Amino acid sequence: METPARISGENKEVFRRVLIRCFWKLFRTTLLLIPSLRRRQQGRRVGEKFLSRKIIQDCGYQINADVNGAKNILRRAVGYMLMAGAVVTQPEGERFVLNHTPQPRASGGCPPMEGGGHWHEDKMGFVDTIIAERLTKCFNGLKAVDSVTFRIKSGEIFGLLGPNGAGKTTLLKMLATLLKPTAGVARVCGYDVVGEADEVRRRIGIVFQEPTLDNKLTAFENLDFHARMYGMDKETRRRRIKDVLKLVGLEGKVNVLVENFSGGMQRRLEIARGLLHSPEVLFLDEPTLGLDVQTRRGIWEHIKRRNEEEDVTIVVTTHYMEEAEFLCDRIAIIDSGKIIAADTPEKLKNSYGSASLSITVASQSDAERLAARLSAFGFVEGVSVRNNVVDVRGGGEASVPRLVLAAFEAGVEVKALNFRESTLEDAFLRLTGREIRDEEGSFNDFIRRAHVLWHRRR
């Protein structure tokens, strides 16, 4: 059924070597079950990284292969090349076509790669903390995540915004090793999310959208379970649990069974648990859903602080524009499984949002007269009339005097002015094209949500 891997390129020798490395690694993974061999293997890891890096750097190549074909090996090979800064140049159906031109190795630092990739002296020896390339997940034919490609830098706070059912949770779960991608490659902290899932798990923390607490345990027991699973010693456990409980304001409820918590309290406990250990990457799936304003603020600030002080890379999905704007260095807007825009909040607002001015005049006829006149301006993107109010979109704050002056010239009396900055929400609505998704999927989502809330309440 599966198409065999097809490799083509200028330098077949190099491919042979990359693939041999990957074969060897796979072979060794099976040997891993024997403990005495494992120790020896650790020493080799360094050499291997070096080697694969060297191979990639040494030569120009083009890889042309079906990643689903010989899954493990090719995913590994493509992953290495991605980490080395290779970029996809031509989408050719379901195939990967990677292109890469060699750069001379400068002594000391690492030369920048073409196409925006960099060498990066991370402790893994590679740049971006998260690399996703053509990541796809199908659920019985439905493409929940559809060929998504992005990179997240170390220490960045990256937001995912999208309507219900856009595929945010599915994407996070793939990065967190809980779902296996149908196609594509993803690497977190330099490790493949499928082939090296254990290594990835050691480095990440996640707060899920749905409740994942054990209702029959107390708050303390839930946190203690988590801390022990992450291998914390007794002293650290005690200290950290106290800290995070204080952060979410649940100190008084340490020994209360979780089933007796309110929905918001359970949510807070869940966040506390996500912050308990110190991951390199933190995934937050709608972290502050259903929380009161004070708690939300506190949690935002904590997240920011963790990001700044410990350099944690954070990926957060949210429906609150305010939250996205406050937290995120970069925001990706995702709809129907595709990333349709990714940029800083500022740039998103400027490129896709628009400021608007509402001018209230004396009567509807005045308003229509004014509207006709204003639509002649070049910077105006749209004019609409509601009763005696004219809404003008486009132009910034600087355009207000000109518009008012135009009204004056037309002999229309201006009663009131209301200027609104361009917001992320505008950009979001413009990009996703609707306020609330109404498709057949929405009913399922509604049921899912009701189910979640029902569980949480219990």
Partner 1 sequence: MRARSSDKVGKRTQVKMKVRVLNPAAIYTLWLRETIRFFRLRSRVLGSLGMPLFFLAFLAFLPVEASSVHGLRYIDFLAPGIVGMTLLFSSMFAGLSVLWDKEFGFLREIMVAPVSRVSIILGRIAGGMTTSLFQGVLMLLAAFPMGFRVEGLNEAASPAVAVLGGVLLAVFFMMLISVTFIGMGVALASKLKDMSGYSLVMNFLVFPIFFLSGALFPLDGFPHWVRTLAYADPLTYGVDALRKCLVGVGEFPLLLDFAALVLSSIAMVWLGAYLFEKTEV
Ligand X SMILES: Nc1ncnc2c1ncn2[C@@H]1O[C@H](COP(=O)(O)OP(=O)(O)OP(=O)(O)O)[C@@H](O)[C@H]1O
Residues that bind partner 1 in the complex, under the rule CB under 8 A: 32-33, 35, 121-123, 176-180, 198-199, 201-204, 206, 208, 210-217, 221, 225-226, 228-232, 236, 273, 277-280, 310-311, 455
Single out the residue of 52, 62, 99, 209 in contact with Mg ion (rule: CB under 5 A): 209
- Beta-bridged to residue 313, according to DSSP, are 281
Among partner 1, ligand X, Mg ion, none, what binds residue 176 when CB lies within 5 to 8 Å by partner kind? partner 1
**Residue 144 binding result from ligand X, Mg ion, partner 1, none, given CB thresholds of 5 to 8 Å by partner type:** ligand X
| Least distance (Å) between residue 318 CB and ligand X | 9
Closest listed residue to residue 149, CA positions, set 334, 344, 284, 350: 334
Q: Does 177 bind Mg ion (CB under 5 A)?
A: no
Closest listed residue to residue 173, CA positions, set 315, 19, 354, 380: 315
Taken in order 340, 144, 425, 435, the sign of the CA dihedral is positive
Among 67, 113, 144, 424, binds ligand X (CB under 6 A): 144
β-strand 157-161 against 142-152: which pairing, if any?
A: unpaired
> With binding defined as CB under 6 A, does residue 170 bind ligand X?
yes
Burial of residue 90 (CB within 10 Å: 0-12, 13-18, 19+) is exposed
Cβ count near 39 (within 10 Å): 8
Give the CA radius of gyration of the chain. 26
Task: By CB under 6 A, tell whether 166 contacts ligand X.
Answer: yes
Residue 422 sits in the site that holds Mg ion (CB under 5 A): no
Nearest distance from C-beta of residue 187 to partner 1, angstroms: 17
**List 168, 201, 296, 369, residue binding ligand X (CB under 6 A):** 168
Q: Residue 114 contacts by C-beta under 8 Å, 6 or more apart in sequence?
A: 85, 87, 100, 101, 103
* Contact code string over 204-223 relative to ligand X, x by CB under 6 A: -----x--------------
Task: Tell me how far, at minimum, the Cβ of 286 lies from Mg ion, in Å.
Answer: 6
How are the residues of the chain apportioned to helix, strand and coil, as percentages rounded to the nearest 5?
A: 45, 20, 35
Task: Based on the shown chain and the rule CB under 6 A, indicate whether residue 441 belongs to the binding site for ligand X.
Answer: yes
Q: How far is the CB of 244 from Mg ion (least distance, A)?
A: 23
CA dihedral 444, 445, 451, 452 (to 10 degrees): 160
Among positions 169, 288, 295, 313, the unique one binding Mg ion when judged by CB under 5 A: 169
Find the residue with minimal CB distance to Mg ion. 169
Q: Rounding to the nearest 10 degrees, give the CA dihedral for residues 288, 292, 293, 298.
A: -60
Residues that bind ligand X (CB under 6 A): 139, 144, 162, 164-170, 209, 441, 444-445
Residues that bind Mg ion (CB under 5 A): 168-169, 209
